[in-house]
Structures are given as C-alpha cells and as structure tokens.
Amino acid sequence: MTYIGRHPAAGSSQGLTVRGISKRFGATQALDRIDLDVRPGEVVALLGENGAGKSTVSNIVAGTFPSDTGRMTWQGRPYEPGSPGDAIQHGIGLIHQEMRLLPDLSVAENVFLGRLLRRRGVSTAPG
C-alpha cells in the first residue's frame, strides 16, 4: 500500500493525522509512506485487497506495534502509542471483526467494552 487518500480539508490539527508511515515485515514492505486523515465525526473506510496493508495501518494506529518511519498526531498533539492500552487511554481502540464480538451486546457496547469494564472497576488484565 502506498497511498490511502487525503480529505479535502487535510491539515486540520484535529482528529487523527498519519504521515509517511512505513512498515516492513522481513522481506515484505507492508506499508510505504502512508498518509491518512480522519477528522472528528468522519467515518473512513480502508479498502484494499487481501494483504494490501489495512490491518497493518490499523494496528499501528491502535498501538499494537510501532511503524518503521513516519509520525502521527491525535487531537493536535504528537501521537506515539506504546501499546494498545496506551492507545485506548487516548480514546483509540481496535475492534476486531471476527470471533471477538459479544453477540448479546449492542454495537456500541462492543465498541466501548474495554471502557465499560474499567469504569465498573472490573479488571480485564490477567491476574
């Protein structure tokens, strides 16, 4: 993946900005200088064939692993999540499509599951 797209009002300091993100896994250059803007209230879809790099972008934004190059900002400040928990502290989380959803909960409850549990004082951490 080399390019996702840019909102006409890109450059706004609010929301999420991703600039020049690259990621290599061994011999595979998964991402090559990605730019992405997500503005407040905007719904953005990443479209691409299997292996295009959608999950890799998502994982970098959600703090699963770092990028090799590039930088991100969130709400106008440098954003460098060190872990998924760190990203969640910033209000950024990844909801997995398959096998990870609780069918008895609403979409909103699934999206905010980690926060709801923490607010109720129930630890999800091992131990």
Ligand X SMILES: Nc1ncnc2c1ncn2[C@@H]1O[C@H](COP(=O)(O)OP(=O)(O)O)[C@@H](O)[C@H]1O
List interacting residues with ligand X (CB under 6 A): 25-26, 28, 30, 48, 50-56
Distances (CA, A) of 25 to 34, 46, 52, 63, 65: 16, 20, 13, 16, 12
| Collapsed DSSP state (helix, strand, coil) of residue 110 | helix
Nearest to 114 by CA among 75, 94, 99, 97: 94
Question: CB nearest Mg ion: which residue?
Answer: 55
CA distance 74 to 92: 9
CA distance 78 to 66: 14
| Side chain identity, residue 116 | L
Which spans of this chain sit near Mg ion (rule: CB under 5 A)? Answer: 54-55
Distances (CA, A) of 43 to 8, 32, 46: 14, 23, 10
Q: Which does 29 bind (CB under 5 to 8 A by kind): Mg ion, ligand X, none?
A: none
Q: Which does 56 bind (CB under 5 to 8 A by kind): Mg ion, ligand X, none?
A: ligand X
CB of 53 or CB of 81, closer to Mg ion: 53
CB of 46 or CB of 116, closer to ligand X: 46
CB of 16 or CB of 31, closer to ligand X: 31
Q: Which does 113 bind (CB under 5 to 8 A by kind): ligand X, Mg ion, none?
A: none
State the minimum distance, in angstroms, from the CB of residue 55 to Mg ion: 3
CB of 55 or CB of 110, closer to ligand X: 55
State the minimum distance, in angstroms, from the CB of residue 18 to ligand X: 14
